[in-house]
Structure 1
């Protein structure tokens, strides 16, 4: 078990995971952005990304099943081919960081993910071929070494011309394949003890019903308003993580 984790901590994590599952099912991202600020003080910085990597495999599987009819195999194949080696490299690099360094890296990526998404949204429908491959390689490096990069993949898919359920399904399929590689690297490096697997399974199990609830909600909510709320949460969470990491580095 992690340090002094109580039943109430597990209940809190499960509740936030359910909300994150709903958010992920509606927008294509959510768990990787919303979970780090909750998990970091409970399980420690070094365990955050490995735990989310395992739980993401479960939530991405449920998202892919829920939206399977909209999956785009051609674009998914291009991105996966480019992202697989860089994802493994990013995951290995993560295992070499200190706890404080992890906090700063995760927080910085969360902060940068927002302007990146807005920039890519402006080139919607103009990213294809070699551009999609280059974007996939860059995403793989980020995804391998941090949490919360689903927002970047979402933006890449929007820039490639996908929308609606196709974005959610294709995002889930790509993230699932890359997640297997990422988890494999973490497991080999000893970054996934039994306690981490337990927490990850809890998150994945709690997020799964949220995904299927989201399927029923898609088309009934204002996506723009929801994205603005998530952006605000991401910025706040990123600032908190960066502050915690810098404080630890200063000690």
Structure 2
């Protein structure tokens, strides 16, 4: 098994591996500060290097490193009641979404990822501008739709983030609760990918490499969270998401 993992990474030029590692560390810092970012930034470098159909499984496995470390770093701020509501409602549809992704072609995977990226920015701004507020029932209903997205796409964390903000959580409580929910649905998602046979040596090798890089980012982010202007980071991230979404969509139709 080790030989196959090593062979998968050895086939990739060292410069590209370094690029993936650097992006992973930056994404983990942004994710730890803003509550999301890893799932929307990593596809920008993984699509041309690891192939589109491998991106969601790689990011899904990587999340099993990113989110537990973030949950531990912010553990005192976790809202366990909201975690239970979202997990109970999102798990069934997450499994369906993950299975649906395994049936996509390379072009289909590119289109799904690109659409998720492009829709995430206006969705967040619309919800914030309207002062969207929901109760536990609305959170559960929203979690059903979130489950489909998180199961079959990369970068859907913005939906969960918006739901948690809309139900009254703020600041570090959002980051912590988001991370704990993501741990739970992430295990279900990766389990489906494993059963479907999409966790190839290449997927596992990239996920392990990225995982080693992203774990320290959560703890560094916690140390910086009170010093870094989240609004500035969010604005930069929005720009990167839009550019990346357009680039991936162009690649999908140029194939």
Tell me which interval the TM-score lies in, with the shorter structure as reference length. over 0.9
Q: 1:53 to 1:88 in 2, by over 3 A?
A: same
SS of 1:230's equivalent? helix
Equivalent pairs counted in the alignment come to: 248
Q: Deviations over 1:54-113 (max 9, x none)?
A: 001110000000000000011111111110000000000000110011101100111001
Q: 1:30 to 1:124 in 2, by over 3 A?
A: same
Higher mean alpha-carbon deviation, 38-47 vs 2-11, is at: 2-11
Q: Deviations over 1:143-166 (max 9, x none)?
A: 000000111111111111111110
Q: Deviations over 1:106-159 (max 9, x none)?
A: 001110011111122235572112211110000010000000011111111111
Query: After the TM superposition, which residues 61-72 of structure 1 pair with which residues of structure 2 at under 5 Å, given as runs?
Result: 61-72=68-79
Structure 1 stretches of 5 or more lacking a match? none
Q: What is the CA-CA distance between 1:30 and the residue it aligns to?
A: 1.1
Q: 1:3 to 1:45 in 2, by over 3 A?
A: farther
Match of 1:159 in 2: 166
Is the 8 Å Cα contact of residues 3 and 43 (structure 1) preserved in structure 2?
A: no
Higher mean alpha-carbon deviation, 187-196 vs 57-66, is at: 187-196
Q: Deviations over 1:8-48 (max 9, x none)?
A: 22111111100001001001111101000100010101100
**Runs of at least 4 residues of structure 1 off by over 4 A?**
none
TM-score, normalising length: structure 2 = 0.94
Is the 8 Å Cα contact of residues 94 and 188 (structure 2) preserved in structure 1?
A: yes
SS of 2:103's equivalent? coil
Match of 1:113 among 111, 120, 129: 120
Distance 2:254 2:10 in 1: 21
Distance 1:90 1:154 in 2: 19
Is the 8 Å Cα contact of residues 2 and 43 (structure 1) preserved in structure 2?
A: no
Match of 1:40 in 2: 47
TM-score, normalising length: structure 1 = 0.96
User: In angstroms, what is the RMSD of aligned CA positions?
Assistant: 1.3
